[in-house]
Structure 1
């Protein structure tokens, strides 16, 4: 969820000072982009995975503090809900066996963590939205103890001035309200990080936006929320609504939402940070003692903590990241499109598809984003979230086409070329892209498996709806531990 903050009350003076400081930081960042040396010698990648906690019956386990204490590993951290934790995987290159090393590292870490979690009566589950969540889990009392979360919730509700409304129509309809941002905790995702040079950032961000719909369709894994079957990737509308600071009147005026696909192709990473400052008031106006102009003038690297903290409260599906490691600044694209799960091998296959395809599109003779409107990319994104692997989208030179046909005929060969360009071994390339190919051929991903399994339990076996969702969740957990790709699940 971002940088740590202490409990506090913000004054008008705090907000005025923060606005001045963030504008100063934006000016410093502009000068750095022009003059500084950024770390981009070797393409580095990273992975973060948000996880749910369940008990032996498949119900949410509100035990993240006890689980983290049992795991005792700094790579695991709290998330918004007491039924969430997150793991951060050490960054690495993809060349050689980088992808299979990711798979081994993630499996080993999660197996160890799950074994430790069982000592406090909890189990880890990689899934986009936990199907057994009930309204009683969506209350302020289930927010994690970390002060940042309560403070962020208070600021979102204060900016909004009324309870958060959740309204989603899919196969069924859900309409509810919340007095906190805890519904956001239901959205557990995988975040893929790709370090690039500032000069290449715009191309990688534009490419990531253009292919986000295909990622979402292939990887959809969130069809249920509070007992209702909604979109194939219900995370998308839920996250958009759960952190919306706008009243209906502000929406009508065209005020931008904080969960945002965006509204245009960009020419520089600066465009995105400048939009952050121009469009979005601070939710957490926490001031740092650093004077970025003085630090830069002294030949050192400013942390730009206000700029980074503010960026962390604007939830773009492809977010720009500025960071400093060992006094060396770098920038990266944080791809936030995918849900967690179903298995580690599926997760790495999704990563291989993204890293390979975005590389190929950036290196193409004619940029993809010059051949389609930004609004078309956004419409594709919504269509993929609604209909998942069965969706149809617009693609330049093709027209409206089924996602699976587009991926099989056009995008998978491009992703393979991109992985080759990144130095990925042929064995890794074929293994992980082969999983994506089989998903397309079978039409099965996490969302379709969940829907089919639930229907077989609820409609054919005549099980109670809540019991069917719970049994499906336990079946899912068993198959998740097999690490067999979801397209092979019975």
Structure 2
């Protein structure tokens, strides 16, 4: 969840001053890392889940303000970019024992309560990567949420680019269109896994998360449709990249980095990522606070590093570094952003168990994966996983290019077991959640394949594409509430 900002007019002086403040934040961060000023608690995790709002027909419901007012829990629930989005933030906690099972129940309880409140104002909650019934007319400046942050961000992205945002995604079918605002980004609804780590463990955890991103997205793909077309199995990735791209065609040709970015190298420290952000990306929201970070540190205080944190929030790495101060104590987190929301809470928790277990195991290997695998291979795996889902072939050291399902079953699931054991996860909880990942690979069904199979079944029965998508959306919502993992969902019923 990004930091809220007020509606303001941005001047040239604002940009100069902001750049200088970011540099001083980096100076303070370097000193804090050098002097060991950080909290060092590896076992803390957190989660954010973005959701869509739909009406009784499965179409987007532009009602997030009314829904949030009805839920009346601003500590947990917040707006997202468009009026058909909301987000829940779960507090940090441990992985040990039955914590993942308790977190699963907590999420279900929260979602059930929120869905009940949403229904009182004519909406329902839906966890999915991209709402299948979304139309181009549903993503415009008029449908952005009222939060001034989103209006200002929209203005700055369009001003930086100087022209409309082209959208071109070639998958099973072809989408070619453009937008005069960033609202298409709102179609991307994700689940974000947070892993708090000590500074000494950050680089290994981030590198491990990057190495497995392609496998993650292949297993969890849940976004095959956009604006009525069947595209990639996880269309969120190219859509997010294109809908926030501040680069003109000329800047792309010059090698300017995109703001939605996989990255280009393995790292040695969290500082590497924050420094790259400052060096490669101009400010979108150049707003300064009164705090002088270096002076605050000299007084023995812990600086908020507000300008660095705000800048970091406008650069959308698939694994993003996060600096935060909680109760006066600074910490670092890896924010894993590659996965879509849904299909069920059980599926989300299975994805979480696989991620947290595998990152722990890979980060602690004697010969790390990033010493045996090029960064380019990891980036290529991410695009293959997003495009082909469970049918993807990915590269892995020692095996070469292999089907992603075979890699998971033969090599990665055992590593995830090892990692979860090191976290102290209860074996019954571990086996249930990783069993869901195993069965996705065995059955060849995740959220994306279920959606495609169900739409094709409805089309074969005589429905046109729009009606098939609407029928599938309604069935999806019904199955979502059962919490039965998506690999068990029937196809073609109703």
Q: Give the TM interval when normalised to the shorter protein.
A: over 0.9
**Secondary structure, counterpart of 1:360 in structure 2:** helix
C-alpha separation between the residues in 1 aligned to 2:249 and 2:136? 24
C-alpha contact (below 8 Å) 1:264/1:374 kept by paired residues: yes
C-alpha separation between the residues in 2 aligned to 1:255 and 1:215? 27
Per-residue CA distance 1:47-91 (angstroms, 9 max, x = gap): 100000000000000000000000001200000000000000111
The structural deviation recorded for 1:386 is 0.3
**Secondary structure, counterpart of 2:456 in structure 1:** helix
C-alpha separation between the residues in 2 aligned to 1:135 and 1:184? 12
Per-residue CA distance 1:247-297 (angstroms, 9 max, x = gap): 000000000000000000000000000000000000000000101112111
What is aligned with 2:180?
179
Map 1:282-361 to 2 at 5 A: 282-361=283-362
What is aligned with 2:143?
142
C-alpha separation between the residues in 2 aligned to 1:311 and 1:330? 15
Map 1:13-412 to 2 at 5 A: 13-74=13-74, 75-412=76-413
**Secondary structure, counterpart of 1:483 in structure 2:** coil
The structural deviation recorded for 1:364 is 1.1
What is aligned with 1:8?
8
C-alpha contact (below 8 Å) 2:42/2:198 kept by paired residues: no
What is aligned with 1:467?
467
C-alpha separation between the residues in 2 aligned to 1:199 and 1:40? 9
**Secondary structure, counterpart of 1:320 in structure 2:** strand
What is aligned with 2:476?
476
The structural deviation recorded for 1:395 is 0.5
C-alpha separation between the residues in 2 aligned to 1:469 and 1:410? 36
C-alpha contact (below 8 Å) 2:41/2:196 kept by paired residues: no
The structural deviation recorded for 1:468 is 0.7
C-alpha separation between the residues in 1 aligned to 2:203 and 2:42? 18
Indicate the RMSD between aligned Cα atoms, in angstroms.
Answer: 0.6
**Secondary structure, counterpart of 1:48 in structure 2:** strand
C-alpha separation between the residues in 2 aligned to 1:31 and 1:39? 15
C-alpha contact (below 8 Å) 1:51/1:188 kept by paired residues: yes
* Higher mean C-alpha deviation, range 444-453 or range 134-143: 134-143
**Secondary structure, counterpart of 2:325 in structure 1:** strand
The structural deviation recorded for 1:462 is 1.1
C-alpha contact (below 8 Å) 1:128/1:187 kept by paired residues: yes
The structural deviation recorded for 1:465 is 1.2
Give the ranges of 4+ consecutive aligned residues of structure 1 lying more than 3 Å apart after TM superposition. none
**Secondary structure, counterpart of 2:264 in structure 1:** coil
C-alpha separation between the residues in 1 aligned to 2:22 and 2:295? 15
Q: Which runs of 5+ in 2 are unaligned?
A: none
C-alpha separation between the residues in 2 aligned to 1:272 and 1:123? 38
C-alpha separation between the residues in 1 aligned to 2:36 and 2:11? 35
The structural deviation recorded for 1:42 is 4.9
**Secondary structure, counterpart of 2:15 in structure 1:** helix
The structural deviation recorded for 1:37 is 2.4
C-alpha separation between the residues in 1 aligned to 2:179 and 2:277? 26
C-alpha contact (below 8 Å) 2:43/2:196 kept by paired residues: yes
C-alpha separation between the residues in 1 aligned to 2:241 and 2:475? 29
C-alpha separation between the residues in 1 aligned to 2:201 and 2:464? 53
**Secondary structure, counterpart of 1:321 in structure 2:** strand
**Secondary structure, counterpart of 2:266 in structure 1:** coil
C-alpha separation between the residues in 1 aligned to 2:162 and 2:26? 29
C-alpha contact (below 8 Å) 2:48/2:192 kept by paired residues: yes
C-alpha separation between the residues in 2 aligned to 1:125 and 1:8? 34
* Higher mean C-alpha deviation, range 33-42 or range 437-446: 33-42
The structural deviation recorded for 1:36 is 3.5
TM-score (norm 1): 0.99
C-alpha contact (below 8 Å) 2:208/2:369 kept by paired residues: yes
C-alpha contact (below 8 Å) 1:42/1:93 kept by paired residues: no
